[in-house]
């Protein structure tokens, strides 16, 4: 199969929409990451997403819609859902709601992307579009059209090329099917923002079967990722030692915790770290070098980046307290 690269002009968007209606797979830009789209009403097309991504069949998909007016057609929304739609749509918030008309486990995950190209595509398609990230399962998500082609060339019909993603990580997934709103996957919109919009407590339920990207190894490049968590001073010392021991490694994290001479992603702030994270992981893989990464300090706004780094490292984190206890036990002096 030849994967076509389509320009994001009016003619290209119309062609991409026609391909989706015909059952083809088309990757397209959103503000979070590039999505791999299929007509959500076409079971064969949706099944092809799983095959193209080598994705486990029980890992659910998010359905993208052109506007809030489509919610009532595919889901049952209560007052909480409409409050959040008014506050955060279009944008990187996915709502898990009781399903109405779409095949699934009785729930459906809906999102309206903010990227204008995606909005035009959905409007032209006139169908709900299932769209996980446009990468092979478990790998760092693509934030550029070029990264999609690296992953999917020959596996899908087309890529609707657009600008790099501005958010850089997948959407927050919020479950509204129970009495307490639950964050199933953290993202750019954090718990405090949601709680403020609802004037209610918000819980979390990572690993839920109702959210993608939570129960399997995800976002991981094909090179080792070592993750460190602690205070800034401790991180600088520990990261310097790790980079000295592995001089070919690159650093990913905030510039504030980067040791002198570190090379890689030295992000000025959390927003830059989030936007550039997947690109930095992909670059390390292309260069075949390991990654030494710093975990941002616990805070609601850092939850999405912390989640992605934790999963990229396989859940193995060197913690300050544990490391210092090991040094004390061995008699090592730092």
Which residue ranges of the chain lie beneath pLDDT 50?
A: 216, 331-334
- Model pLDDT, residue 272: 98
Fold: same for 4-204 and 225-330: no
- Model pLDDT, residue 121: 98
Give the pLDDT confidence of 114-140 residue by residue, as tens digits: 999 999 999 999 999 999 999 998 899
- Model pLDDT, residue 40: 96
- Model pLDDT, residue 332: 44
- What's the CATH architecture for 225-330? 3-Layer(aba) Sandwich (3.40)
- What's the CATH architecture for 4-204? Alpha-Beta Complex (3.90)
Give the pLDDT confidence of 288-318 residue by residue, as tens digits: 999 999 999 999 999 999 999 999 999 999 9
- Model pLDDT, residue 31: 98
- Model pLDDT, residue 136: 92
pTM of the predicted protein model:
0.92
Per-residue three-class SS string for the chain: CCCEEECCCHHHHHHHHHHHHCCCCEEECCCCCCEEEEECCCHHHHHHHHHHHCCCCCCCCCEECCCHHHHHHHECCCHHHHHHHHHHCCCCEEEEEEECCCCCCCEEEEECCCCHHHHHHHHHHCCCEECCECCCCCCCCCCCHHHHHHHHCCCCCEEECCCCCCCCCCCEEEECCCCCCEEEECCCCCHHHHHHHHCCCCEECCCCCCCCCCCCCCCCCCCCEEEEECCHHHHHHHHHHHHHHCCCCEEEEEHHHCCCCCCEEEECCHHHHHHHHHHHHHHHHHHCCCEEEECCCCCHHHHHHHHHHHHHCCCCEEEHHHHHHHHHHHCCCC
- Model pLDDT, residue 322: 67
- Model pLDDT, residue 205: 85
- Model pLDDT, residue 231: 94
Can you give the residue ranges of every domain in the chain? Answer: 4-204, 225-330
């Amino acid at each position: 199969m030849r994967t076509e690269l389509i320009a994001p002009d009016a003619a290209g968007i119309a062609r991409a929409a026609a391909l989706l209606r015909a059952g083809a797979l088309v990757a397209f830009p959103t503000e979070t990451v590039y999505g791999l789209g299929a007509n959500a009403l076409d079971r064969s097309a949706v099944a092809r997403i799983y095959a193209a991504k080598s994705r486990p069949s029980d890992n659910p998909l998010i359905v993208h819609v052109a506007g809030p007016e489509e919610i009532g057609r595919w889901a049952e929304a209560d007052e909480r859902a409409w409050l959040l739609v008014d506050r955060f749509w279009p944008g990187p918030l996915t709502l898990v709601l009781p399903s109405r008309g779409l095949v699934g486990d009785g729930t459906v995950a809906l999102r309206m992307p903010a990227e204008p190209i995606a909005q035009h595509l959905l409007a032209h398609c006139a169908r709900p579009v299932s769209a996980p990230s446009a990468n092979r399962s478990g790998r760092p998500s693509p934030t550029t059209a070029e990264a999609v082609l690296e992953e999917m060339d020959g596996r899908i019909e087309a890529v609707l090329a657009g600008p790099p993603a501005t958010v850089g990580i997948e959407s927050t997934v919020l479950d509204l099917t129970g009495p307490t709103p639950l964050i199933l996957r953290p993202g750019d919109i954090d718990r405090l923002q949601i709680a403020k919009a609802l004037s209610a407590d918000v819980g979390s339920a990572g690993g839920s079967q109702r959210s993608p990207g939570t129960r399997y190894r995800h976002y991981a490049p094909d090179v080792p990722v070592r993750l460190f968590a602690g205070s800034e001073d401790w991180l600088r010392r520990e990261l310097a030692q790790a980079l000295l021991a592995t001089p070919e490694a690159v650093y990913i994290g905030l510039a504030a915790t980067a040791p002198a001479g570190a090379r890689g992603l030295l992000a000025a702030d959390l927003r830059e770290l989030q936007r550039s994270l997947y690109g930095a992981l992909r670059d390390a893989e292309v260069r075949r070098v390991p990654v030494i990464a710093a975990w941002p300090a616990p805070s609601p706004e850092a939850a999405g980046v912390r989640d992605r780094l934790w999963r990229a490292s396989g859940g193995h984190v060197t913690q300050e307290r544990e490391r210092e206890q090991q040094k004390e036990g061995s008699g090592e002096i730092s």
